[in-house]
Amino acid sequence: MSNNNQKKLLVGRPNIGNRETFDRLVDDIFARRWFSNNGQMVQELEKRLCEYLGVKHCIPVCNATIGLQIVCHALGLKGEVLVPAFTFVATPHSVHWEGLEPVFVDIDPHTHLMDTDKAEALITPRTSAILGVHAWGRACYPEKLQEIADRHGLQLYFDAAHAFGCSHGGKKIGNFGRCEVFSFHATKFFNTFEGGAIATNDDELAAKMRLMINFGFTGLDSVVHLGTNGKMSEIHAAMGIACFETIDEIVRTNKAHYDRYRTRLSRLHGVRFLDYDDMEESNFQYIAIEIDASIARASRDEVMNSLHAQEIMVRRYFYPGCHKMEPYASLYRRLSDQLQATDETCEKVLILPNGTGVSPDDVDRVCHAIEEVLA
């Protein structure tokens, strides 16, 4: 990271696990001279992930995007897949990369999650799956989507990139649909520098995906399936194991920052906080606010520009919406008037810095800078 970035307040500054544990595990990796290909560290990480999530399989992969692509293959998807337009572009990319057509669905503007009625209305004979996204860690209506998927004979799986450590109905995310894909990217609540994992309770699906992440190999010279390289390396897994030791501390810090921001900023006219559900476990990683320019004293972009000028690098995820990014903007022009809630939300959302790299004083600095524009 450049010196310049060290001075900035950033969204996405990584949480760091227990450094002593990490350093010790790195020494072990070098001593064993075993760096990748389902080594001891990856196996240990999978064991801990399964215990933590209460799920039968949680296969570590090199990142969530490849994980989502592998799922497309493993589920044998064809034709169209329903995806929300309001998500990180990796979600539709994973579908399109596999030769499938992502069909963009509008969101519920209150929760930022896929609108289930609008999803059902877009089902055609070509639809093979629904890909729900647990935006900001909130579960994307798993029961309702499962009911729709069952009624129409579709597969249901989830992009759980934001939702590690979050629950729904008291059950950890990772247990819904055919499978769920977590991201362990550096900017995530729980990180392995780069990485992810595919969680499922389906033995057959898990076995197929294990083959697929390792080129389809079953033995030294035997390849029985189409495969790719989706493996996680030992050093990445070591970071995950070290992160397990600090999960509670990260949640505590995130929640304290969330409460501090909320107490101060929700007083401002035209500012709305995205809620975390009190009845569920959450990782509180994303501080997502909406600034409504029709009520507030300034627009979201005016606030963002003012903060950027002060080296507070807030982000407008997921601007401008996947349907306005290529190749989708050119491919699906006809869709733009069906995604009104997405378009409106994209104009309002601002993500504020959070995590253990942010101090209470930093939070106060961000609040002060926002108040200067909006109060």
Query: Could you list the residues that contact ligand T4K (CB under 6 A)?
Result: 10-14, 63-65, 87-88, 90-91, 133, 159, 161-162, 183, 185-187, 196, 313, 317
Closest CB to ligand T4K among residues 49, 268: 49
Asked if residue 130 lies in contact with residue 145, where contact means CB atoms within 8 angstroms, the answer is yes
Shortest separation between residue 183's beta carbon and ligand T4K, angstroms: 3
Comparing every residue's Cβ against ligand T4K, the nearest one is 12
d(CA 39, CA 98): 28
Closest CB to ligand T4K among residues 14, 174: 14
Helix axes 203-212, 64-74, angle to 10 degrees: 120
Evaluate the CA torsion angle 291, 293, 295, 297 in order and state its sign: positive
Closest CB to ligand T4K among residues 126, 320: 320
Shortest separation between residue 125's beta carbon and ligand T4K, angstroms: 28
Residues 55-79, buried b or exposed e (16+ Cβ, 10 A)? bebbbbbbbbbbbbbbbbbbbebee
CA distances (Å), origin 313, targets 191, 274, 290, 305, 350: 21, 19, 16, 9, 10
Asked if residue 260 lies in contact with residue 244, where contact means CB atoms within 8 angstroms, the answer is no
Closest CB to ligand T4K among residues 258, 296: 258
Asked if residue 348 lies in contact with residue 292, where contact means CB atoms within 8 angstroms, the answer is yes
Residue 76 has, within 13 A of its CA and on its CB side, a CA count of 4
Closest CB to ligand T4K among residues 268, 316: 316
d(CA 277, CA 259): 13
Closest CB to ligand T4K among residues 198, 271: 198
Amino acid letter at 139? A
Shortest separation between residue 288's beta carbon and ligand T4K, angstroms: 11
In which residue are the tokens 């390849």 written? Answer: 223
Closest CB to ligand T4K among residues 16, 367: 16
Shortest separation between residue 350's beta carbon and ligand T4K, angstroms: 13
